Amino acid sequence: MKAISTRHRAPTVAIAEAISAGLAPDGGLYLPERWPHFTLEDFDGASTLAQVGLRLLRPFFDADALEAALPGICEQALSIDPPLTAFGNDRDFLLELFHGPTAAFKDYAAGFLAGCLSALSHGALSFGNRPLTILVATSGDTGAAVAAAFHNRPGFRVVILYPDGRVAPRQAHQLGSFGGNVLALRVDGNFDDCQRLAKALLLDADLRREVPLGSANSISLGRLLPQAAYYAHAALRHWRDAGAELNFAIPTGNLGNALACALARRMGLPIGRIVLASNANAVLPEFFAGADYTPRPGIATLANAMDVGAPSNFERLQFLHPDPDELRQLLRAESVSDAQIRAAILRSLEARGQVICPHTACAAEVLDRLRARGETGDWAVVATAHPAKFPDVVEPLIGHAIPLPASLKAMLARPSHAERISVQEVKERLRTFGG
């Protein structure tokens, strides 16, 4: 299949090429030119995430440079079936996407993208003998997931840009703990500055001639597509168990994860309603309530991986649904304040017996609101990170320490180093890193 740019001014390219490029040359985001449609029978015999993911993604890679590698990539990147557990009662569920190496959902997509780029660097789209530098702007979890996915992979380097002082201490430690082919830069600015800088550098033709660059942000098609797999997997499992559609409340920042859920529904999976849970960055809730879309600088909240004032994947939604009123029929969005995040973490423990992270708490709060309004149906709160990543927020509320998953324990035992840098200095540092 081919990929097209949301801005219509870039040539149509193969999916593999779109994944390798990250951003389209016209500054737009790539999307597949068509959406396959599935029936339930198309997934007969597919029960693991890797099996469901392969069936779902295969049409996109038909006659593509990645076609032969796809089964192996799915097997590796989608090896952990996310638990869909009871969340306090028999209508509410928690979709636990945090069992990967960095304990956040982004591990799935980062692993998939790394698998794709590795396969390509040995095949059709080689980058010569020079390593490909993966440039990633992060508000916390993206950088760690991408670094873990590419750490020690031959032919790759990773440069992480994160806003200095704006990621949780444990996340900051994680970002600086890789070393080797991973360079962590703490940038004097906010997340939107980091993201803007990464976009500008990826479009800088002079720089790219010297330093082959690739993207791994949620703007990359190679991250968006695999995320649809766990929604397909959870919805199919629920359909087979309960004979009902599953509805989703999804913590949302840059809108990659929730968009993937909407795409899975579009492809025919038994998914009902989708509600986006934003933190105090309310640009999406305001749009879905009827206002114009007005991107703005992000503000700092307790759910810091969602501190996004200009969600980049909105451009994809607009491309798919140019009529805003039509778009408003498809999704809803609600904003959750820091005080409500704290209250939801406490309520989740007391009423449901579950400790959740501040991001997941936004979705739990939204589900509680829906239930209070009389909402019926089966709902899954998407748990995007393990609560042990955010002890500063969660532990004072629940009054005890959260046991660390083994992956986090190992990462935190390693030393950590990040270089402080200004926005202006990053380009030169890319030239000198491992140069």
Joined tokens for residue 87: 């969340």
DSSP 159: E
Q: Which stretch binds ligand PLP (CB under 6 A): 41-49, 155-163, 237-245, 253-261?
A: 253-261
Q: How far apart are CA 25 and CA 10, in angstroms?
A: 6
Instruction: Give me the DSSP letters along 236-276.
Output: HHHHHHHSS-EEEEEE-SSSHHHHHHHHHHHTT-SEEEEEE
Q: Which residue is nearest to ligand PLP (CB)?
A: 141
The nearest distance, CB 385 to ligand PLP, in angstroms, is: 3
Map the footprint of ligand PLP across residues 265-324, applying CB under 6 A: 305-306
**How many Cα neighbours within 13 Å face the side chain of 385?**
28
Q: Which stretch binds ligand PLP (CB under 6 A): 76-84, 207-215, 254-262, 316-324?
A: 254-262
The nearest distance, CB 218 to ligand PLP, in angstroms, is: 5
Q: How far is CA 243 from CA 68, 240, 246, 306, 353, in A?
A: 35, 6, 9, 33, 26
Dihedral sign (CA 5, 112, 170, 348) = positive
DSSP 229: H
The nearest distance, CB 261 to ligand PLP, in angstroms, is: 10
Joined tokens for residue 241: 């168990």
Site string for ligand PLP, 332-361 (x = CB under 6 A): ---------------------------x--
The nearest distance, CB 386 to ligand PLP, in angstroms, is: 9
Q: Which stretch binds ligand PLP (CB under 6 A): 70-78, 241-249, 251-259, 411-419?
A: 251-259
Map the footprint of ligand PLP across residues 363-402, applying CB under 6 A: 384-385
The nearest distance, CB 1 to ligand PLP, in angstroms, is: 23
**How many Cα neighbours within 13 Å face the side chain of 302?**
25
Residue 248: phi, psi to the nearest 5?
A: -130, 135
Pair 186, 418: CB distance under 8 Å: yes
The residue whose two tokens read 């929730």 is: 258
Q: Does residue 163 interact with ligand PLP by CB under 6 A?
A: no
Measured from the CB atom, the residue of 143 and 189 that comes closer to ligand PLP is: 143
Q: Which stretch binds ligand PLP (CB under 6 A): 174-182, 203-211, 245-253, 371-379?
A: 245-253
For ligand PLP, the binding residue among 256, 285, 298, 387 (CB under 6 A) is 256
Residues 6+ apart with CB under 8 A from 63: 1
CB neighbours (10 Å) of residue 63? 8
Q: Does residue 223 interact with ligand PLP by CB under 6 A?
A: no
The nearest distance, CB 310 to ligand PLP, in angstroms, is: 12
Chain centroid offset of residue 125 CA: 25
Q: Does residue 220 interact with ligand PLP by CB under 6 A?
A: no
Residues in binding contact with ligand PLP, number by CB under 6 A? 17
Residues that bind ligand PLP (CB under 6 A): 104, 106, 141, 218, 251-258, 305-306, 359, 384-385
